[in-house]
Chains A and B, each alone.
Chain A
Amino acid sequence: MKKIIANWGNYPSIESDEKTFSFPEDLATYVGREDRFIARGYGRCYGDASLAAKTVCTLQYNKVLSFDTKEGIFECQSGLTLDKILPIIVPKGWFLPVTPGTKFITVGGAVGSDVHGKNHHVDGCFSAHVMEMDITGHDGETHTCTPDDKADLFWATCGGMGLTGVITRVKFRLKKIETSYIRQKQLKAKNLDEILRLFEENKQYTYSVAWIDCLKKGKGFGRSILILGEHASVEDLPAGKKEKPLAVPSGKQINFPFNLPSFVLNKFTVKVFNFLFYGKNMKREINNVVSYEPFFYPLDAILNWNRGYGKKGFIQYQFVLPLESKNGLVEILHRISDKGIGSFLAVLKVFGPQDDLISFPKEGYTLALDIPVRNGLMPFLDELDALVLQHGGRLYMSKDARMKPEILEKGYPRLDEFKSIIRKYNPESKFSSLQSERLNLTSR
């Protein structure tokens, strides 16, 4: 069915002929017949990665295949979303090994983007927990791979943006939990130096992330709130919650009903918002126990929050810089605050070591910020790209809608190896997206 689709940034949008499937043979027929399409799940990557004139939607291919409640091993079809998995595993004392800031993504998407979470420095990316998966290749056949068996296919699929084929089945390990609650600590940092020091001092925490105010200049440059968390034990819970330690939160949502006009979001309103957000924490340190829902998915409570950025959409700009490039981080943050663009809030996190074929994370600082699309934005982002490269960093393909191919090439040292695996498993560029064409990952 033809329809207009866009990913979470609402930029770009494109007309696409979308096909859904519920059974593997229907997918095999589609793959055999069609050309130049890309698999798409919930469309929560931000840019153009899962956009193409033809898309095959995995959302109906969403069955739970097995769940070993003793060993914590979960197996499902690729279109199952994390929000459906949590109510199944949490009551049995298990949690997702890695989760991004939204639960509205499919498992196929988690692999294709090799998503990371607040625990990257401890647990790595999603791919670190995948034991086995099936991929429907260009020949319509199912290829099973593991980190050791058909390893080239496996590692080119993790973070490979769907270019090796359609991921259809994933088996992964879960994380053991005693309760569904998080012991949370929030620390206020007056400036950038302090927040980076606090990250270092608190790296033993399983979960850590900071909200940073990108518009603040002068003494308070880089003021932030660091959010730390650990899965709570039963003893940590207040009396009323001890009887049902593994309760699943009800997950009530409110809807953002329409696109906000673009003028609403300007330097002034964002400054006010950031002031209030920073100011809401009166004390320097807050300790409390919260359900996993507000801790991991604060924005999921507002459906379609992306409409707040208006009809033209937004870019989420996310890069990582090596630890030794702290100066680079300072420079880039200065450029952003001088330009006065920027989002309500930007997210700062320190990644742990990782060195995979094409996955985004590597040890260092990662910053993600939403910027509404407007005139003059793209040239500015090109300038930022140059700085990111100069300081040894790179950009996240799942957030990208505009980088130039040379930025990808210079940021990912093993890109040639990745491309040669794509040529092996996707020789006719059957799996192809706007992004893969733009970045010369597939032929045009």
Chain B
Amino acid sequence: MTADLSEAFSFPPQPDPDADSRGFWAATAEGRLAMCRCQSCGLWLQPPLERCRVCAGPTEFEDVAGTGTVYTFIVQRQAAVAGYLDKVPYVVGLIELDEQLGLRLPGRIVGVEPGEVVCGLRVQAELVDLPGGEYRVPVFRPLGAE
């Protein structure tokens, strides 16, 4: 990337929390991964909602184990989004969390060579600082890897 663009593009997009998502970011700030869950029927909801999409029950953020499986993934070879420009190639996966079939979070997969990532890989979330602001975000590392 050329120098004149490096400043503007040096940081990744920052989240803009809303009333439904604030609990997610409050939890990551405290080092926890929490997802939105219906307090009536127990359904996990992503993206989060004020009321359950199935039973309209009230929701709260509850901690999740942070373990999951790579449903699918991409290897980013060319910078397409601001930030991480010096990190290409990087891997982003859709991680299916163990709490519920189909409950997925997008996240970078770290601690493994891009060529080693496969669908079905078991991963564990960890929280890292998001460059350029005050937020922390989950990234995922293969289970058992250091």
Bound together: no
